[in-house]
Amino acid sequence: MAHVTFMSLSDRDDGQMLLMAGFIVAFGLIAITLMLSDILYATSLASEASMDPVKYDFLNLQQLANSETKNAYKSSTINGYTNWSTFEKYNSNYIGNISKIYAGEGYAIKVERGSPYEVRFTANGLLSGNPEWRVVGNATNIYTFKIYNYNYSVGDSFQIDVVNLTGIRLYSVKINTIITIINRTGAISTISLTDPVDLLAIGDTPFTFNTNTQGQTYSIYFNNGDQIAGRFNITGKSASNQTFIKARDYMINSTISLTSSRARLNITTPVSVPW
Amino acid sequence: MDDNAQMQTIEAVISAAMMMLIIVFSIGATSITPLTSSTANAHVEAELQTLGEDMLNILDYTQDIESPSSLRRDILNWTGSRYVWNGSCYADQANKTGIPLENNLTNLLSFSLKRRGIAHNVEIIYFSSDGSTLNSLPFIWDGDPSNNAVSVSRKLVLHDREVGSTFNATGIRDMDPQTDIYNIIVVKLTLWRM
């Protein structure tokens, strides 16, 4: 005869409690999984922040502001005379229209130009800039080399050096209360100060620029450029047969600010004009 | 009256809820593809955006302000035609047997994007002659972009002194006859994965 056991009511309740406990554990696991999933999603959102194109657009705007300050000056300057009214009109039209483009992309921008101020003969045109730097490299011909509207302090020693590819100094000019020329052989000649200083016209043979540099490929260096302020203009041809212009008349501060829903950026850059 | 009925009802409800959650979660986990609007897609878009920005940076780089960048030269030499990829080069859509477009822009696009299966459009956005509206012209066209496409742009100011007579054919006109500004354009590059 088969042995039959009957489950009591208490045993059945225990079974249901165990089942409920199982459900609770399962829900807990689902909740933890969803939380981890959300954490992963949040991490992805953080990395997505790097997609914010504001930095890229700001750099583009800054480059444009610099190049358009130069272009505004160049287009307003004819035969050494700058029409500042034309300069302002160029700026006004440029700023008004570029603002419309950026507004369409969700940015509010502001571009301001400061008043022109004198250029130091340093690498970046500022008093704090590198005073010893190469202005022209690998030149074979110089067509214009003028320094004008300059001012200096007595005792200062701004010097221009022309050095060939093997490092030999071909020609040097010191500008102070007098102009001192040192030629290729080391001989010295002095002449009285003029403004402008036309380096292609000063000195007699064998102290002229062309006599000492003819047939050579050379670089032009400015030394102690922080001790003189003014304007310079150098044009010529390089060894690769390309013409070049290196000229500075003024420094102009260009200030741009860009505001988006996420960021606000503001920067002032000193720009040398025309180059 | 059965006292267990309430407990059985609760069990049934919980079971149904669990099944629903499992179905929803499973669908959410399995349908993430590169083209799905999801967290994975955000990474694809970020990569494309960086790639596009780098490409425009390279094209618009110039060592000397007097010499125009490759991008500027390519735009100034454009005559307004729409170019499409014909399998080997960018051809004029209206005259596919004509001379293909070969310049710095197309070289970089075919090298960096075509080989990797990234579709792209290049559009030129410019001001109307009175400066009141912005218009758009397709330069290089791969078709309508998908939902996961990203756009990067580069602004260029064109000047009277650098614009040749052939550029008139593009329809982009001098917006500012009083100054040296010819027009301000936006080179818009749109990228998406096919």
Helix/strand/coil (H/E/C) assignment for every residue in chain B:
CCCHHHHHHHHHHHHHHHHHHHHHHHHHHHCCCCCCCCHHHHHHHHHHHHHHHHHHHHHCCCCCCCCCCHHHHHHHCCCCCCEEECCCCEEECCECCCCCECCHHHHHHHHHCHHHCEEEEEEEEEECCCCCCEEEEEEECCCCCCCCCEEEEEEEEEEHHHCCHHHHHHCCCCCCCCCCEEEEEEEEEEEEEC
Q: What residues make up the domain containing B7?
A: 1-31
Is residue B37 one of the residues assigned to a domain? no
In a shared domain, residues B20 and B50: no
Distance CA A157, CA A177 (A): 10
Residues of chain A with pLDDT > 90, as a percent, come to 46
**Tokens, residue A190:** 């002095």
Q: Where are the alpha helices (DSSP H) in A105-144?
A: none
In angstroms, what CA-CA distances link A268 with A56, A69, A131, A163, A253? 17, 13, 22, 36, 6
Is the pLDDT assigned to residue A51 strictly greater than 60?
Answer: no
Partner residue opposite A71 with nearest CB, options B131, B152, B180: B180
In a shared domain, residues B155 and B126: yes
In a shared domain, residues B26 and B52: no
Is residue B143 one of the residues assigned to a domain? yes
Distance CA A27, CA A21 (A): 10
Q: What is the longest distance spanned by two Cα atoms in chain A?
A: 140
In a shared domain, residues B153 and B108: yes
| pLDDT tens per residue across span B13-42 | 888 888 888 887 777 666 555 555 555 577
Is residue B36 one of the residues assigned to a domain? no
**Tokens, residue A33:** 């999984």
pLDDT tier, A26 (very low <50, low <70, confident <90, very high otherwise): confident
In a shared domain, residues B172 and B100: yes
In a shared domain, residues B27 and B46: no
Is residue B5 one of the residues assigned to a domain? yes
| A30 with B155: Cβ contact below 8 A | no
Chain A: nearest CA to B28, how far in angstroms?
11
Cβ burial, residue B173 (10 Å; 0-12/13-18/19+): middle
| pLDDT tens per residue across span A191-243 | 888 888 899 998 888 889 999 999 999 999 999 998 889 999 999 999 988 88
In a shared domain, residues B60 and B21: no
For all residues of chain B together, what is the average pLDDT?
Answer: 87
In a shared domain, residues B21 and B49: no
Is residue B61 one of the residues assigned to a domain? yes
Classify A197 as helix, strand or coil.
strand
Residue ranges covered by each domain of chain A: 9-50, 54-113+266-270, 120-241
DSSP structure class, residue A118: P
Nearest alpha carbon to residue A157 among A170, A172, A146: A172
In a shared domain, residues B22 and B57: no
CA atoms within 13 A on the CB side of B122: 25
Size of interface A-B (CB pairs under 8 A): 90
Residues 118-177, chain A: which have Cβ within 8 Å of B? none
Nearest alpha carbon to residue B149 among B24, B20, B52: B52
Q: Which range among A19-33, A118-132, B131-145 shows the weakest confidence by mean pLDDT?
A: A19-33
Residues 219-238, chain A: which have Cβ within 8 Å of B? none
- Mean pLDDT within A20-29: 83
Backbone angles phi, psi at A180, to 5 degrees: -110, 125
Partner residue opposite A89 with nearest CB, options B7, B157, B179: B179
- Chain A CB contacts of B39 under 8 Å are 40-41, 44-45
Say which CATH class A120-241 falls into. mainly beta
Q: How far apart are the first and last CA of chain B?
A: 65
- Mean pLDDT within B39-62: 85
Is residue B115 one of the residues assigned to a domain? yes
In a shared domain, residues B50 and B26: no
Confirm or reject contact between A47 and chain B (CB < 8 A): yes
- Chain A CB contacts of B125 under 8 Å are 101
* Number of domains chain B is built from: 2
A246 sits in which H/E element: strand A243-259
Chain A: nearest CA to B98, how far in angstroms?
34
Is the pLDDT assigned to residue A5 strictly greater than 70?
Answer: no
Angle between helices A84-104 and A54-76 (to 10 degrees): 160
Per-residue model confidence (pLDDT) at position B35: 53
In a shared domain, residues B21 and B51: no
A171 sits in which H/E element: strand A169-175
In a shared domain, residues B24 and B70: no
Chain A: nearest CA to B46, how far in angstroms?
6
| A97 with B14: Cβ contact below 8 A | no
